[in-house]
Amino acid sequence: SYGILVPDMSAQDDYDGTRITGEDEELAEAICRMFLDREKMAFYADKAGERTQSYLPCKYRRDLVRILNGIVS
């Protein structure tokens, strides 16, 4: 587990800061929960560090090609 799942944001680009959707509120609530729970924040900070150590551009490309080929086939 490297993060917290939140619902997809709208497929429509919306840069109007005055329009707050339910998805925006759910994301904000998840961020607030993270900041309020220091143990959870430390856990995911460590996980983020682990993830950066395993990231390799060539592996990312290979995995992306595999996924896209699976979608197209």
Q: According to the model, what pLDDT value does residue 11 have? A: 83
Give pTM, 2 decimals: 0.56
Helix, coil or strand: residue 9: coil
Give tens-digit pLDDT for 6-64: 777 888 888 898 999 988 998 899 889 989 999 999 999 998 888 888 888 998 899 99
- What is the maximum alpha-carbon separation in the chain? 44
| Residue 7 DSSP symbol | P
Residues with Cβ < 8 Å from 2, sequence gap 6 or more? 44, 47, 48, 50, 51
Residue with tokens 């143990």: 39
